[in-house]
Amino acid sequence: MTKLSVNINKIATLRNARGENLPDVLKVAEDCQRFGADGITVHPRPDERHITKKDVFDLQSKISTEFNIEGYPSPEFIAMVKRVKPNQVTFVPDPPNAITSSEGWDTITHELFLTDIVTEMQAADIRTSIFMEPNAEKIKAASRIGTDRIELFTGPYAKQYAQNRESAIAPFVEAALLAKSLGLGVNAGHDLNLENLTYLIEKIPFIKEVSIGHALISDALYLGLEKTIKAYKNCLIAL
């Protein structure tokens, strides 16, 4: 069954709006796991507008499932990840001022750079994942890099889902099958929600993990966190 990793960045955004500790990011992480989440994802950015470096270190002892840290592999980011030693690090090609992730890595242009950092992380016994679009040649490059997994950037799928879900999912199925044939694990994330998640898993049942934050936290405002996590988990049962 595909695992659900809950991205708690938006909890930190809300907390930071008042400069206090409400909501408590650490407690929310513990609650998410208690309610059935299979992991916790954070994406710290240099300006610390949501998850801070302190959060990352404080969360280390609170994660009893899996800890996934996303981010751009700057020297500072790499040093932090090596100290925290999460289960997985997901490399995202975000510039420092990006509001959210909007594209995947060009693994062909950055093949040598990514090979070096993937090798460094694996030497520290940290599983690696590269955030990328469903592009065959770039997935082949990811295989040459030696990463353990790729995370398919599902923003385009989510955007096109309402118009034509069959055409929206087609390139992702093709990309996932190629990655699997090359021995790469497949994760997925970005703009996944209760409307489009089930169909994704029906068509690509071997996805190992989905990372979901914005939509899940938004749904929790109406449903409550426990019911929301259960609803997302139900979407991950491939038919």
Could you confirm whether 43 is annotated as catalytic? yes
CA distance 126 to 73: 14
Q: Catalytic residue among 70, 133, 151, 209, which? A: 70
Could you confirm whether 110 is annotated as catalytic? no
8 Å CB contact between 137 and 179 = no
Could you confirm whether 190 is annotated as catalytic? yes
Q: Which of 83, 92, 76 is nearest to 126 (CA)?
A: 83
Q: Catalytic residue among 43, 66, 133, 151, which? A: 43
For residue 34, what are its two tokens?
Answer: 């208690």
200 exposure class (CB count in 10 Å sphere: 0-12, 13-18, 19+): buried
Q: Catalytic residue among 66, 110, 133, 190, which? A: 190
8 Å CB contact between 129 and 187 = yes
Identify the residue whose tokens are 């093709």.
174
Residue 30 CA, chain-centre distance (Å), reads: 18
What's phi and psi for 21, nearest 5 deg?
A: -120, 40
CA distance 93 to 132: 9
State the DSSP string of 11-37.
HHHHHHTTTS--S-HHHHHHHHHHTT-
Active site residues: 43, 70, 190
